[in-house]
Each structure stands twice: as C-alpha cells, then as structure tokens.
Amino acid sequence: MAAYASATAPRVELVSSEGDVHVAAVTIDPRDPVFAGHYPGFPVYPGAYMMAVVDHTVRAATGLDLELAAMRQAKFRSPVYPGDHVTVEVTVRPNDADGEAGWAVSAVVTGPSGVATDMRLTYREGGS
Amino acid sequence: MIDTEGIIRRIPHRYPIMVLDRVIEVNPGENLVGLKAITANEPCYQAAPGQPPLDDYRYPPSLLLESWAQAAVVLATWDEPNPDVLAGKVELAALAKEVEFTGRVYPGDVVEHRVSLVRQLGPTSIVEGTSVAGSTEVLRVGQFVLAMREMAEVLAARRQPETV
C-alpha cells in the first residue's frame, strides 16, 4: 500500500468496529504545528485537518487502499480546539455507482461541545 | 495582482497553513482567481516520526480544498479583510457540498483556483468554483458556505459546552 501524504498525522485509536460502523478516539494534539498559523492568538483546528482525521479513521478501520473522490457534504457545526478529545464514528459501505468499485462513508465527529462535524465522503480504490 | 504579502494582509492564515500564494484576478463581489504552487518541500510531505518515507506525493485533497477555501475567503472578505482574528472576527467554514476531487495534484504543479461569489447576506457568503492544474481540472466545489463570526460569540460558546 502506498505511503501517501496527509495534511496531518493524528494518532487514531480505534475503539470499536461492529459491521460497517467503526469508532475511533482522537486527541487533537495541542503541539500540532498548524496552530501557530490557524490562527495566531486563537488556535482552532482547521476543517481540512478534520477531513484528514476522518480519512485516517477510515483507513485504520478498514485497512483498505483508498483514494478520496468526493465530499458530498460536510457540516462544520462547532469548532474543535487544541487538546479536545473527539470521537470519530464512520460508517463505510460499498458503493458501486458509475460501475466503479468504491465506498460511501458517513462520519460524525463529536467533541466536548457536541457534534463538531458530520460529513459524507465517497472513496474509490487507491493505487496509481 | 495580489502577492503573498498582500494576501496575508487580508486573511489570518499563517505558516504552516497559509496555502494560497497569489491572486491573479479579482472582480470584487463577483469572482477571483488565485494560485498555489505545490512543492515537494511542503510541511505535508514531512514523514511522520516512525513512519516509512512517502512513495506517493499526491497533494492531500484536504489541503487542496483548504487552499481553494482561502482564495474564497479573500473574495468573501474583500470589503472587510480580517487578517487578525484577535481584532474581533473570524471567518469559519459552515458547510461544503458536492466537492469533487477530479484530478491528482503533484509537486511541480501550479494550481489555479477559480472562485465565484454566489450570494452574500450579512455575515454569510456562499461561493462555488473549480481548480485546475495546467489543463486538468483537479477540484470542483459545488457549494461552500462561509460565516463571519464575532470572536466574542465564538469564545462564549466555547466556555459553555452543550451537555451531552
């Protein structure tokens, strides 16, 4: 499997896997270098990094070689801050739309203030 | 043309997540074209400790979208740029819809982001657009909603988390 670049490399701890549903615990590392720039004086986790957290969860949960094809919808409901403990629940289902092997993922990220982000993603098989 | 120094006078993002290099065209209130050059020396290509070296240098889709979104923020806040959130406001992403990663981006590519302002109502801006690398479309954004929030309100919400 290719070692690919990612916005960030969060430590994703899988806590449960039942059928299609996988849950991970992630701590938003306050030492992540991104906070110096997002934003100076007010560190808040970028939405793009939250996408990477979901992506890492999907990969850790399924072990699949995947390429992100689309983000059908993402709602950023409340900010996530350095040190926050979040749970990431992903549901991964095969999705053979367009005759191509793929997966439909729905993800809910819950933090100290409730649901922080929910998103629906489409993945296709990885590889060059 | 707005260079990098001009961009940082308009948006609060800084290294290592200031991922917009240049604005080459702007029609305020309408549309904007910005550029991001991708290089192998970016922070995202640093191998995490204990991890194997990369063998796939595709630019992360999340950062491609972030880069497009920063061009969108420049457009949405054109009349009231907000380069310092401590001054009182922060532009937050609220919603993204029908975002498609239609092509791969690699070091050496210069990505051109095209952003159109669909509607702006008070603090809410709705934008859409595409990104291309050379003649290849790499990103499509069906809808992206930005909300300019008062920092006092954001901080107050943080101090009183909802009970779950």
Task: State whether B58 and A49 contact (CB < 8 Å).
Answer: no
- Average model confidence (pLDDT) across chain B: 94
Band of pLDDT at residue B133, cut at 50, 70 and 90: very high
ipTM score here?
0.95
Task: State whether B54 and A5 contact (CB < 8 Å).
Answer: yes
pLDDT value at residue A116: 96
Contact by Cβ (8 Å): A125, A65: yes
Task: State whether A5 and B164 contact (CB < 8 Å).
Answer: no
Average pLDDT over residues B147-164: 79
B150 C-beta neighbours (distance < 10 Å), count? 12
Residue from A42, A49, A105, A109 to probe the interface with B (highest B Cβ count within 10 Å): A42
pLDDT value at residue B160: 65
Nearest CA in chain A to B66: A48
Q: Could you say which DSSP state residue B47 is in? A: P
Q: Which is it for the CA torsion A96, A97, A99, A100, positive or negative?
A: negative
pLDDT value at residue A81: 96
Cα B164 to Cα B127: distance, rounded to the nearest angstrom: 33
Cα B98 to Cα B84: distance, rounded to the nearest angstrom: 30
Average pLDDT over residues A53-75: 94
pLDDT in tens, B105-118: 999 999 999 999 99
Contact by Cβ (8 Å): B89, B146: no
pLDDT in tens, B9-19: 999 999 999 99
pLDDT value at residue B70: 98
Look at residue A57 and tell me whether its pLDDT is greater than 90.
Answer: yes
Cα angle A92, B96, A65; round to 5: 30
Picking from A53-62, A118-127, B70-79, B107-116, which range would have the lowest pLDDT averaged per residue? A118-127
Cα A40 to Cα B137: distance, rounded to the nearest angstrom: 33
Distance of CA B52 to the CA centre of its chain: 29
Cα A88 to Cα A111: distance, rounded to the nearest angstrom: 9
Chain B hits for A97, CB-CB cut-off 8 Å, are none
Average pLDDT over residues A84-92: 97
Contact by Cβ (8 Å): A53, A109: yes
Look at residue B61 and tell me whether its pLDDT is greater than 80.
Answer: yes
Higher per-residue confidence, B162 vs B148? B148
Nearest CA in chain B to A69: B101
List of residues 6+ apart from A22 with CB closer than 8 A = A14, A16, A57, A58, A61, A62, A89, A90, A91, A92
Q: Which is it for the CA torsion B56, A47, A73, B23, positive or negative?
A: negative
| Percentage of residues in chain A having pLDDT higher than 90 | 80
pLDDT value at residue B161: 54
| Percentage of residues in chain B having pLDDT higher than 70 | 97
Higher per-residue confidence, A107 vs B156? A107
Higher per-residue confidence, B48 vs B28? B28
pLDDT value at residue A3: 77
The nearest CA of chain A is from the CA of B148 a distance in Å of 13
pLDDT value at residue B163: 47
Using CB atoms, pick whichever of B63, B85, B162 lies closest to residue A48: B63
